[in-house]
Homo-oligomer: A and B are copies of this chain.
Amino acid sequence: MKLYDFTAAPNPKRVRMFLAEKGLETACVQVNIREREQFTDAFQRINPFSVVPVLELDDGTRIGESVAICRYIEETHPEPALMGTDALDKALVEMWQRRVELNGFLMVGEAVRNAEPRFEGRALPGTSGGVPQIPALVERGKAAALRLFDKLDNQLSANEFVAGPRFTIADITLFVTVWFAPRANLGVPDACTNLKRWHAAVAARPSAEA
């Protein structure tokens, strides 16, 4: 098994944290997306959608999309469960993972991609040109993430972790959101005391460094 990875990018970090929480190690191949290596013919054959991460199995099968990679790892290494235990718990973990992703992770990504000069002309993931930056998305993305932080602060007032009493993939998505939010000049507001408490606890886990 090997992971096509880029250390500085948020999506691969989700998978690395997931692997670390499972106690797994895997070979990582760096794809330097800052040098546009995801658009080479060689990488197009690995992932025609031109994004990292990709997990390559020993038989050559390739799985793209962070959460799909996590699903494969979860199914093949069920302990500790990071995507829920029974039917209802799996659904609630997925609900929270998606709430964080749609309202936070993707919004911060949009704020970053529409602000940083390196993404000029390719403001959507997997595009190599022809997609102009839209400056209004920077503020829209930051405001959306702040609305999510408020809602999560409420959820975390009654729960140790985002989806309840156990650490799950929803915590990983949120942690990585907060991890790269500074690139959009964004942080967790001081008023979100529950979210701050949660963040300190997750930052202390060994997987946070993955």
Contacts and interface: CB of A to CB of B under 8 A. Distances in A.
Number of copies: 2
B72 A88 contact: yes
A124 B99 contact: no
Contacts of A192: none
Contacts of A37: none
A71 interface: yes
A99 B61 contact: no
A209 B75 CA distance: 33
Interface string A84-111: 0011101110110011001100000000
B49 A68 contact: no
A94 B75 contact: no
Given A67-B98, A134-B136, 9 more contacts: A48-B154, A63-B91, A63-B92, A65-B94, A67-B94, A71-B90, A102-B125, A131-B140, A136-B136
